[in-house]
Amino acid sequence: MPELRLNLVTREWVIIATERAKRPMDFKNSVDKPAVPPYLKTCPFCPGNEYRTPQEHYRLPFDGNWKIRVVDNKYPALSPGEKKRVSDGYKRSISGIGVHEVIVENPIHNISTALMDVRDIEDIFRVYKARFIDAHKDPTVEHVILFKNHGESAGTTLEHTHSQLVGTPVVPIQIRDRVQAALHYFDDTGECMICSILKREKEEGARVIIDTGHFLTFVPYAALSPFHTWIFPKRHSAVFSDITEEEIRDIAYHLKVLLSKFHYGLEDPDYNYVIRSSRPQDRGNEYCHWYLSIVPRLTKTAGFELGSGMFINTVVPEKSAEFLKGVRPG
Amino acid sequence: MPELRLNLVTREWVIIATERAKRPMDFKNSVDKPAVPPYLKTCPFCPGNEYRTPQEHYRLPFDGNWKIRVVDNKYPALSPGEKKRVSDGYKRSISGIGVHEVIVENPIHNISTALMDVRDIEDIFRVYKARFIDAHKDPTVEHVILFKNHGESAGTTLEHTHSQLVGTPVVPIQIRDRVQAALHYFDDTGECMICSILKREKEEGARVIIDTGHFLTFVPYAALSPFHTWIFPKRHSAVFSDITEEEIRDIAYHLKVLLSKFHYGLEDPDYNYVIRSSRPQDRGNEYCHWYLSIVPRLTKTAGFELGSGMFINTVVPEKSAEFLKGVRPG
């Protein structure tokens, strides 16, 4: 009998459809991806082509050969300007202002996060932190999303490894609704929802993949798709940019191990990850708690998901976790 | 300058990203789809293979050769059973009960809705109506979604033209939130939001594609993607199954013309459509109003959409409407 599970964070019910269940290993990428060279003359993100990108905002290290560069998106969804709101009957609009940056994660064209040295991944998080703080200095920015699209089906158009930061002039309703759910949970129980899920997931253990001093990586109880994974910081903290150096080293390790498990166990699937966080000015918030969510793109959403907002997951979350636990990276 | 527009129905902001704008015609399918035969011996939905489908619930006509058949989904996301709820700390589950039917829309294997006779499409709506009413008779069913997936990127696994009905044992949070937004609108203005949008869209005209006695087909002001289209019934009605025979003939015409415009103007793009409706027992509801939403699958969602719930539409809605208006079907 299939089962519906409630995702407490999103308030969405997920259908765990065992009738159409696949074994985790059936999700392995069966197509060989074409070979990609380590350097591509025509790639705007490859060293030597820096002139082909729009304004640079940041580089690491600051002198010498760069390891990470942050530039404006050449085709920005949002760009700096004056905030104008129009409210005309049923029409509400805001000028498309905000921030849209690209984080070029590595000079090597064909390296993927799964294959990077863990110290290179630490640097990516250091840059995320710096740009997250900086984006919030723009008074028109209300919300910042840090995310990565890996692979074509995850929405990448440029194959050189990169992630993106978007600062929007409004708070998306999805975020408002989740904050509201977290607030109700806090009012009901006196606890942060994420802290409480962390404690219970650790106790139960059935969905835990990696457990270290500062982070817990696990498949959510109501995972929305096969191998959907959350990385939760153990210390209560509403704001991603309050991450410490020690925590950066730990989350880089988690991401490296998890993505290596994806890479070797599922044959380099396409995926998206996103960092969900409150704004620096909401640092004192007791019911919000930042985290990182990773969704491999192994299934397609269809009319049912569009029409209901519900997801159908064909792999039982405990089985996803068990499979990933068993993969030996490298 | 790009613009953000608020979708009043979903409360989601959509980024209309003119910086990365494409011309509508750039979305034309450039790949020739492989030829599909009108009959396939191995297809469980082709005539003669009726024994290969699970239980049949309905057929039209009731005797002689069928034009439409309704059967249980062979790999149901939900199936009949006893409703059991478990609430254990942060874990909430319900047994995966409900209804999951497949509506085989036509005996011909390779016909698509765009190419059907309008009278065949009327019959599809007659069957939708009958099955919608029947599904709500099941006391475990709280919400019913009628939808169609056309093409592989829209989530189809069987190419023989069909649509689906899912009856869920919970009301999805997405639906609850939209009903709430409609209620607030009604309390604010004394009007049904959909009736009010209808009136304004008709007056303005810039996004209207088809306008007849009973329905208005238009690209929403805050369309979430290129060519996203709504078909609104002009008569206030919360419940899809209260559709009259005259309205069935009119909506079949709208769907036929719109899908033909997709077929010829955009070279048979993949798409999903979904009927959004209240339950028959909520017939008297003054603020809910059923409608049909169609989303061609021409763009990919990525980490930004996942992390924010916001969409980026690269075609200005007025341009989508203008393009579709100009396509002469057939």
Answer yes or no: do A3 and B96 touch at CB < 8 A. Answer: yes
ipTM: 0.92
Q: Does B26 touch chain A (CB under 8 A)?
A: no
Helix (H, G, I), strand (E, B) or coil at B300: coil
Question: Which position has the token pair 């704004």?
Answer: A279
Answer yes or no: do B96 and A2 touch at CB < 8 A. Answer: yes
Q: DSSP string of A245-293?
A: HHHHHHHHHHHHHHHHHHHHHTTS--EEEEEE---GGGTT-SS---EEE
Instruction: Give pLDDT, residue A110.
Output: 92
Interface test with B, best of A300, A301, A311 (most B CBs within 10 A): A300
Which residue of the set A136, A150, A162, A263 is catalytic? Answer: A162
Selecting from B78, B173, B293 the residue whose C-beta is nearest the C-beta of A2 gives B78
Q: Residue B30: which pLDDT band, with cuts at 50, 70 and 90?
A: low
Helix ranges (H only) for A64-210 are 118-135, 173-189, 193-204
Helix (H) or strand (E) holding B96: none
Domains annotated on chain A, with CATH = 3-79+90-326 (3.30.428.10)
pLDDT in tens, B129-169: 999 999 999 999 999 999 999 998 898 888 999 999 999 99
Selecting from B3, B96, B276 the residue whose C-beta is nearest the C-beta of A95 gives B3
* Percentage of the residues of chain A whose pLDDT score is greater than 90: 86
Mean pLDDT across chain B, nearest whole number? 94
Burial class (CB in 10 A: 0-12, 13-18, 19+), A278: buried
**Cα separation of A148 and A162, whole Å?**
7
Question: Over 70: is that where the pLDDT of B172 sits?
Answer: yes
Q: DSSP string of B144-200?
A: EEEEEEESGGGT-S--S-EEEEEEESS--HHHHHHHHHHHHHHHHHSS-HHHHHHHH
Give B29 to chain A, closest Cα distance, Å.
17
Mean pLDDT of B309-317: 94
Burial class (CB in 10 A: 0-12, 13-18, 19+), B267: middle
pLDDT in tens, A228-264: 999 999 999 999 999 999 999 999 999 999 999 999 9
Q: Does A76 touch chain B (CB under 8 A)?
A: yes
Selecting from A4, A89, A156 the residue whose C-beta is nearest the C-beta of B94 gives A4
Q: Which residues of B touch A135 (CB under 8 A)?
A: none
pLDDT in tens, A170-210: 999 999 999 999 999 999 999 999 999 999 999 999 999 99
Strand order from edge to edge, sheet including B99-104: B56-60, B68-72, B99-104, B162-168, B143-150, B271-276, B291-296, B229-233, B215-218, B208-211
Selecting from B15, B96, B145 the residue whose C-beta is nearest the C-beta of A308 gives B145
**Cα separation of A255 and A278, whole Å?**
21
Q: What is the largest CA-CA distance in chain B?
A: 60
Answer yes or no: do B172 and A145 touch at CB < 8 A. Answer: no
Selecting from A95, A148, A303 the residue whose C-beta is nearest the C-beta of B274 gives A303
Give B300 to chain A, closest Cα distance, Å.
6
Instruction: Give pLDDT, residue B18.
Output: 77
Question: Which position has the token pair 């989530």?
Answer: B155
Q: Residue B88: which pLDDT band, with cuts at 50, 70 and 90?
A: confident
Q: DSSP string of A109-130?
A: TT--GGGS-HHHHHHHHHHHHH
Output the 3-class SS for A285-325: CCCCCCEEEEEECCCCCCHHHHHHCCEEECCCHHHHHHHHH
Selecting from B5, B12, B169 the residue whose C-beta is nearest the C-beta of A4 gives B169
Nearest of A301, A290, A313, A226 to residue A262 by alpha carbon = A226
Question: Over 90: is that where the pLDDT of B89 sits?
Answer: no
Task: Characterize the bridge pairing of strands B12-16 and B311-313.
Answer: parallel
**Cα separation of A169 and B13, whole Å?**
10
Q: Does B306 touch chain A (CB under 8 A)?
A: yes
Question: Which position has the token pair 């620096």?
Answer: A280
Give A63 to chain B, closest Cα distance, Å.
31
Q: Does A252 touch chain B (CB under 8 A)?
A: no
Give B221 to chain A, closest Cα distance, Å.
7
Sign of torsion over alpha carbons B148, B152, B153, B157: positive
**Cα separation of A314 and A9, whole Å?**
21
Residues 199-218 of B with CB under 8 A from A: 200
Instruction: Give pLDDT, residue B330.
Output: 64
Residues 99-128 of B with CB under 8 A from A: none
Q: Does A44 touch chain B (CB under 8 A)?
A: no
Question: Over 90: is that where the pLDDT of B294 sits?
Answer: yes
Give B64 to chain A, closest Cα distance, Å.
32
Question: Over 80: is that where the pLDDT of B321 sits?
Answer: yes
Task: Characterize the bridge pairing of strands A12-16 and A311-313.
Answer: parallel
Give B63 to chain A, closest Cα distance, Å.
31
Instruction: Give pLDDT, residue A27.
Output: 78
Residues 167-186 of A with CB under 8 A from B: 168-170, 172-175, 177
* Percentage of the residues of chain B whose pLDDT score is greater than 90: 86
pLDDT in tens, B197-244: 999 999 999 999 999 999 999 999 999 999 999 999 999 999 999 999
Q: Does B160 touch chain A (CB under 8 A)?
A: no
Answer yes or no: do B75 and A19 touch at CB < 8 A. Answer: yes
Point out which residues pair with B143 in neighbouring strands: B168
Interface test with A, best of B153, B157, B174 (most A CBs within 10 A): B174
**Cα separation of A253 and A231, whole Å?**
11
Structure tokens at B173: 């949070």
Helix (H, G, I), strand (E, B) or coil at B35: coil
Instruction: Give pLDDT, residue A30.
Output: 65
pLDDT in tens, A83-137: 999 998 889 999 999 999 999 999 999 999 999 999 999 999 999 999 999 999 9
Helix (H) or strand (E) holding B206: none
Question: Over 80: is that where the pLDDT of B109 sits?
Answer: yes
Question: Over 70: is that where the pLDDT of A330 sits?
Answer: no
**End-to-end Cα distance, chain A:** 37
Give A169 to chain B, closest Cα distance, Å.
9
Answer yes or no: do A6 and B92 touch at CB < 8 A. Answer: yes
**Cα separation of B188 and B183, whole Å?**
9
Which residue of the set B162, B214, B263, B289 is catalytic? Answer: B162
Selecting from B12, B89, B94 the residue whose C-beta is nearest the C-beta of A200 gives B89
Q: Is A289 a catalytic residue?
A: no
Q: Does A142 touch chain B (CB under 8 A)?
A: no
Mean pLDDT of A138-145: 96
